[in-house]
Structure 1
């Protein structure tokens, strides 16, 4: 979902009659910011210029009516804080102060008072910060250059700063806030299916559905295996053929594993079975309008439900690639982390620590469950497993690794006082070796040695699963945490 962004610019009403064209100049800057935010994929609600307490109240009501996720307060020139605070006492959305100067420096020899006032953006920022702090209002500040592509006629100095590093950096951060706000809106409007139960005994993964709804705003739809079975019973031969074609497009079918006797070339029967189950899984997601899904089931051996769950991994990997992240073992918290990553377009593959290569200085991260195909290094491989280790049954599994380059792990854990916490960690996926045992695995090198890294990670009391994303996303995930108002830590 798109972020709903509120934007307004501030100024001192007295200035407009004192300096001809100044109000229109502020409007020009305001419109430029709003249009650029729209091009970043946001739904922008621009109130315009606020220069009095009455307009501030009207602005706050306007933003409430538009249900904005975030407010950008453009510090266009000096303004009194009394003409700003009411906006944010009325509308409680997260506020970002934009301290964006139009020029690199004023034209010292020719600058007038009106010209200077158009470039004194930072003058008002301390007053706003002080007033916000004393009024219990949270805020962030972005400083830099406005980034205009051309100089307005009224200006006495060069305002073409579009390619200046200070403008590029500021707009990158603005873009991150907009993306984070969109991810939070999506999360709060996502229906998470919970199929089956949590793997028995995994105390780190147990969570209170009400607590998750209360802290994140999402919805958990509790599903039964009979819901999936009813969808399975409607699968047609055409559905199976279509899903089989999709499987062959997304995956590589190879021979037996050279090392693991349990990992063999998938048989035609198993491929057809996985395709039929995948078609049922797709129908289940559509029937319940799910944006993510958590699953785990173990039933009495030989029952129809126990047989059905043997075909889960392929279909849930396809759904994950299609924007419906699926987490195994009933791990709802990691599914949430995966959904955040996926909404931001950076993947989010289900992982845990597998083993360490001390000679290579890397930690192998992965799982035996669904994989985010969109961030794979090459085509993922399908292998027919003689058994699912630690679980009941056997079936087709995915062998793959995340593509080489920067990665960021995002873990969602729960503290002893029942509060959620994001754990964020950047590293680099390497071209190191992986095992050919039908599991997903990615060798990752972190800024510190493996032992130091693991001890630092463990000290934050994580769950044993997390989501792996591609790119350097710590700053982005940090903004998501702030918008969700949950605890977070970035490991260095």
Structure 2
């Protein structure tokens, strides 16, 4: 078994789908209905790569629209795609969405790049006129106060139906690729609110004293995301620690040896040294207890911080946190330090999307390379690491109590996206999204995670724009350029988003 196997995989979105038409057409143009239904089944098959698809089929009257709305409602869908397969009246479509309140995306996907002008019949044309009713739908939705999105492009078939009078092999056309990229993003984005509404976030200890940007109202968080916050005590973790077996410690040590490189002494920093056997054993013992805590309380994410009295048992316990929390983060249980619940949400969003989400803040600016180092003293998302992360023994944790083992690593070189979840003065959550490039620049050998990041503007200009948005000072770093995807997440969660 891979040590990166998710403890709790994210939920797939439930996606509603139906196609529309005009009932009068079916007798007038034999084969048209079946052709449009075939298109709908093709869309269903493609979408099923990313979500659970609930395809109602063809809706061709307002009565059928009401039935579809009730069915989609009963199916608990997170998002509804209306495939504009041919002309249909807006009275056919509007009832679906007045009954089913899930967000709506219209699909205007033409099966061909060009009709055969000399051979085309009225029935043939009707199979390609999906754009015709969309303005009517848009007007009706606007007047009814219902939001909607539209995806325009080509259907993307890899074959031509026997009934067709033109070429419908459009799978490699730019308009099909672009449309399906948008569809994929909407389906993947819909998994975020579904997963969060079924999530339990552990809050262990407290928030680092004085970090006012990170304080959050648990009720506000649940009201806007649907997640539940489970308040945990250090004695809960201490109870788990007392039940840890030697076999469980060995399993954690095996994971550590597979996923990390054990360092020698740092050549530059006297507090960063080779972690001895005793430190590694303690970190693995605590890691086993942390996994037990996650399983007993059925957690999907965790934020934590505990200062501890000097020399106390809990000070020693929290000193062993970073390794275990990094292992949990890599297994689908994002762990955010310093009690930063909002950044735990950001990390979980990235993890649901399969893009990582490592705990970060500004470390230092490299004006020579034009980069900003982003990182922290842990935890780290091992699954998106550039090579094997390094474990260093720390003589102290800066600004915190205790000693232990920390992670020195950087995120994979290439495209990255940072996601910051902050809170505005009116209590609303806000997403701040930034696309950039992770470079292969140098990092310090001090036992902290650090990734040199080149944004699309000068570091000073980027920081000016970022600071102006009043962020929480932590963010989640994900791999890939995910700005469009994260913007869709914000829209589905009804959370304002800003892209820098």
Aligned with 1:33 (options 40, 43, 48): 43
Task: Please list the CA deviations of residues 167-197 of structure 1 after superposition, one character each: whole Å capped at 9, or x if unmatched.
Answer: 1111111111111111221122110000000
Residue 392 of structure 2 corresponds to which residue in structure 1? 383
Query: Residues 50 and 184 of structure 2 are in contact (CA less than 8 Å); yes or no, is this contact kept in structure 1?
Result: no
Matched, 1:145 2:154: yes
What is the alpha-carbon root mean square deviation over aligned residues? Answer: 0.7
Residue matched to 2:282: 273
Counterpart pick for 2:172 among 163, 172, 185: 163
The question of 1:314 aligning with 2:316 is answered: no
CA distance in 2, matches of 1:246, 1:153: 55
Superimposed CA distance per residue, residues 428-478 of structure 1 (whole angstroms, 9 cap, x where no aligned partner):
000111100000000000110000000011110001000000000001101
Match of 1:285 among 294, 301, 313: 294
Match of 1:368 in 2: 377
Gaps of 5+ in 2: 1-10
| Equivalent residue, structure 2, for 1:447 | 456
Determine the C-alpha separation between the residues in 2 that align with 1:246 and 1:374.
Answer: 13
Distance 1:243 1:106 in 2: 62
- Distance across 2 between alignment mates of 1:158 and 1:29: 15
User: Which TM-score applies when normalising by structure 1?
Assistant: 0.99
> Which of the residues 201, 207, 224 maps onto 1:192?
201
- Tell me if 1:182 matches 2:156: no
1:210 to 214, 219, 230: 219
Taking the aligned partners of 1:318 and 1:34, their CA distance within structure 2 comes to 36
SS in 1 for 2:421: strand
**TM-superposed deviation, 1:403:** 0.9
2:348 corresponds to: 339
Counterpart of 1:478 in structure 2 is 487
TM-score in terms of structure 2 length? 0.97
How many angstroms apart in 2 are the aligned matches of 1:36 and 1:425? 29
TM superposition shift of 1:41? 2.9
Q: Which runs of 5+ in 1 are unaligned?
A: none
Give the structure 2 partner of residue 8 of structure 1: 18
Q: Is the 8 A contact 2:417 2:435 kept in 1?
A: yes
Partner Cα separation in structure 2 for residue 78 and residue 167 of structure 1: 21
Shift of 1:299: 1.9
Cα distance in 2, alignment partners of residues 432 and 376 from structure 1: 14
- Shift of residue 153, structure 1, vs aligned partner: 1.2
CA–CA separation in structure 1 for the residues paired with 2:24 and 2:305: 65
Paired with 1:214 and 1:164, the residues of 2 have a C-alpha distance of: 43
Separation (CA, whole Å) in 1 of partners of 2:145 and 2:216: 31
Contact 2:221 2:227 in 1 (8 A): yes
Deviation of 1:259 after TM superposition, in Å, equals 0.4
Query: 5 Å matches for 1:383-422?
Result: 383-422=392-431
CA distance in structure 1 between the partners assigned to 2:50 and 2:430 by the alignment: 28
CA distance in 1, matches of 2:126, 2:252: 63
2:393 aligns to what SS in structure 1? strand
Q: For each residue in 1:175-223, what CA deviation from the matched residue of structure 2 results, as whole angstroms up to 9, or x when unmatched? A: 1111111122112211000000000111100000000100110010000
- Contact 2:18/2:40, CA 8 A, preserved across alignment: yes
Deviation per residue, 1:79-115 (Å, 9 max, x gap):
1001100100111111110000000010001111111
Q: Counterpart of 2:7?
A: none
Question: Which residue number corresponds to residue 32 of structure 2?
Answer: 22
Residue number in structure 1 paired with 2:100: 91
